[in-house]
Structure 1
């Protein structure tokens, strides 16, 4: 009897330690979730909209090169930026520099299109980026227009930086047709699920394994 009680207590102690570790991991996950939700709240975003000269293959390829130039330039500008206000100030101060970077790429590839950069509030359709869904609505944004700006466009989030490595290409007319002013109150949706996160962690798996093993062990001991 004493041995059985000792074994039971050992198993229980292991489970308690495992649960505590999992709770700590979950707390870290929740904290990260809250920080992400705050950072990507609508009022903290500056979005990016690049419009190609036309839908020709050459102009569409050029649009992506201009995108890369703009992102490279703003990545340097935002290296130490922690607030939207500071990001807006730097964009306003270095607007010509961003335009020059875009025009250099255009000229280097044999084109002579002008580039304009506008900062303001613009209508955006619903978009999904890396597990974050932004509802349709009006957002502060930087709009880069290449030449006649009649081609398909590219959307993303400029600040906080969410564009790198993402390619979101869509038709301007079809996208804007999806915009519904009635839906501006939509909330940003995050696909992070804390419970699934815990279950996928090392500690979550260990708890599951230990629980199964201890249950089997207790059943075996009770039958002895």
Structure 2
């Protein structure tokens, strides 16, 4: 004969609060991963490989060398922006930039007070950069490198797009604000 088993009514079981809270946190983290994956798909890294970046290396970190680097950047920036704005494809951008290489080099040499200046297109290693929701990984990118003197000073870099190109103007204002993370505060409140 078969033994009789007692059937437990599942509605009478007391829920474990810790387990419920843990499941909520795990589900929330999974949703965040899904959102991040979707954002990466739609904002994606597409086109990052097609960008042409620019880097200016100063002779040293001395204030005079850094100032010279900034002056040269201000002088050549309109030429580069004009060459880029007139193009509709990467091939046209490359052709337009190739056409102004001599002018950019001559302008930089005239401002460099006799220092050696070189301007070449090469694959250059760029550090990671975040712009909005897009994070550009550290990797070698197609770039024009303008080197003043020994090129051992801090560098300045940019890509074709102004949001990635230039630092945010409001960075100094944001440093004064205390940063709190809503998600972290919410998770802490679940376990209090």
**TM-score of the alignment, normalized to the shorter chain, above 0.5:** yes
Distance 1:44 1:139 in 2: 9
Contact 2:158–2:165 (CA under 8 A) maintained in structure 1: no
Unaligned runs of at least 5 residues, structure 1: 1-32, 168-224
Q: What TM-score, normalized by structure 1, do the two folds share?
A: 0.51
Q: How many pairs does the alignment contain? A: 129
Corresponding residue SS for 1:100: helix
2:91 pairs with 1:89 = no
Contact 1:156–1:163 (CA under 8 A) maintained in structure 2: yes
Distance 2:74 2:144 in 1: 14
Contact 2:118–2:148 (CA under 8 A) maintained in structure 1: yes
Partner of 1:117: 119
> Aligned in 2, Cα 1:45/1:164: closer, same or farther, shift over 3 Å?
closer
Contact 2:129–2:136 (CA under 8 A) maintained in structure 1: yes
Higher helix content, 1 or 2? 1
Contact 2:158–2:166 (CA under 8 A) maintained in structure 1: no
After TM superposition, give the deviation of residue 79 of structure 1 in Å: 2.5
Contact 1:71–1:164 (CA under 8 A) maintained in structure 2: no
Query: How large is the Cα RMSD of the aligned pairs?
Result: 2.6
Partner of 1:151: 153
Partner of 1:99: 105
Partner of 2:130: 128
Q: What TM-score, normalized by structure 2, do the two folds share?
A: 0.58
After superposition, what is the alpha-carbon deviation per residue over 1:161-182, rounded to whole angstroms, capped at 9, x for unaligned? 5466537xxxxxxxxxxxxxxx
After superposition, what is the alpha-carbon deviation per residue over 1:104-154, rounded to whole angstroms, capped at 9, x for unaligned? 333xxxx22122111011221102345542111111001110011111111
